[in-house]
Structure 1
Amino acid sequence: MRISMKQLNRTYGSLHAVHDISLNIPSNTIYGIIGKSGAGKSTLVRLISLLERPDSGEIYYDDKRVDNLPKDELIAQRRKIGMIFQNFNLFSSRNAAENIAYPMEIAGVHKEAINTRVEELLEVVGLAGRGKAPISTLSGGQMQRVAIARALANHPDVLFCDEATSALDPQTTRSILTLLSDLQKKMNLSVVMITHQMEVVRDACEHVAVLENGSVVEEGKVLDVFAAPASATTKDFLANLAPLVEPDEVKRDDMVRWSDEGGRFTLRFRGDSTGEPVLSRIQKTYDVEFNIRAGGVQRVSGEDVGTLICDIIGESDEVDKAVAALQLSGILVEEEGQ
């Protein structure tokens, strides 16, 4: 299902939580909406999941306008939506299977059909045989798997994940993201992930919108955004994407910093250029030296995106020539303060 937003606005008193947002979320994809605390992302997901109405603007599911539906139609439309939350929102008084069954009970599904669907979903999320387990006996990752199964119970057209991995450790987060990616492909779902973690966007999403102060400051394919970030907010997210570790502890997706000083230039490499000796060639051609302060490679949508933070040392005209040569080689060059 395709979701379209046109000039959405939502205020709470003097707070303009969502300001004139227009976005198109493609069908059959995982779409990320990222922002820092207070950016407006949770309000936006409440609007597009029909939990709240916008003050102004329009929301469409495919070609059907849904923000102005009457009560009965709104309830019916909500039943086609799956929601996953940061804190799981499971009933502690119900076991795993009973939690998954709950939305089907509300929808009036026959008991035998509910039982069949519950067993099917437990298998799908990797919890076969755990239906009778009390919620209190499950790990955080297992509880989120139950929540995912519950969200899928009524065969939704779209799945909204509001900070669904924020309460989980990195290894469990990776397993949940892998599960969601597999489910999206198998079920042809549209998945919208609300997050403040750029790692989630990198590892799971195909498209992303970056929010700041209730507005969209950048939007596009994740690979393009990683390779050529346009907004200061996105650059800040990327600068803090992975922990800075000692060289002997480095893993593929870590950014390693050798020096806390300097770093006037940020170079971003994409695809084949990440393995080319571009800096060596330019240093031989122009009277400059590269002093690398930090570097790393991210795997994004099956393609390598490299980042180097460095100083380029030399006379200003030679530095300018070196920067131009980098850009001609397909490398994005960002200069501090520019």
Structure 2
Amino acid sequence: MDAIFSLVSNNLLSPPVLFFVLGFVGTLAGSQLTLPEAVAKMLSIYLMLAIGFKGGVALAAEGPSTALLLALLSGVVLSALIPLVAFGILNVVSNLPRVDAAAVAAHYGSISIVTFVASTQALTFAGLPQEGFMVAVAAAMETPAILVALWLANKARPARPDAAHGGNGLLHEVMLNSSVVVLMGAFVIGAVTGESGMEAISGFIVTPFTGVLCLFLLDMGAVAGRGMKQGRDVLNARLIGFGLAMPFIGAAIAMPFAWASGLSAGGAALLLTLAASASYIAVPAAMRLALPEARPSVYLTLSLGVTFPLNLSIGIPAYAMLGRWIAGG
């Protein structure tokens, strides 16, 4: 029990989480805190580049393995399965139209790469190293949830005349969105260059990482605060309850997959974190293209304003403890 409280307190009092709280509370109080869009995008690209490169270097040191294949397969299955569970729960606890419920389900089946980045940092501080290939697992979990959600939404809709064109546009949006391109590109570069590559750019990749993460989460806190203010008239207690409960449901679903994949404690914690997270970058962009009638005030406020703060504060320490239990540590 003491270990749990220690993990939670260390995470809650870490600089990245406190900067998120500053942005969130400040915006709710009426501050106009915001970063220029170009700056926020640059910070996001840096974080994707850094975590992808470090994952590639770690993979180069580990080499390919059965665990890699099992983890990739687990990630794809989880990304397809969790939206079905989320959609079913939403149909029971809410009166959301089918399209809105499908859009929300897509967010919870896909992943938040920023939650993943924050988790890697927290797990490192907690002394739980992770398999480098988990970066590839994160990238693999972006797409299946979107496809499942579109199938759920379109079951009750007539085919649109522009469906073929829209499908091509969606595929392009999902597979070539900037986060996936930078993350996987940096992962490949790290795997090719290995330790020598890390030595060459460690001053850029390692030293500034936590500071950049703090600045990015400050802006994310402000964005989440604005989303909560704008969406408070749309979200009721049942939807907020869904946003609070779904992360732990997703993590519970992922537990047998983490065990079967033979992951380390840190790797298992990351798989649970990915299953528990909710996208607010890649999936909203895909939903705007594929389901324009779905309401961002519902799906974006739930994922960014409710689930993201929960995961950042108490979720990540909980998944770390479960990862240790799964790995027998």
Q: After TM superposition, is the score higher than 0.5?
A: no
Larger radius of gyration: 1
Between 1 and 2, higher relative CO (CA 8 Å, sep ≥ 6) is seen in 2
Higher strand share: 1
Q: TM-score w.r.t. structure 2 length?
A: 0.20
Q: TM-score w.r.t. structure 1 length?
A: 0.20
Higher helix share: 2
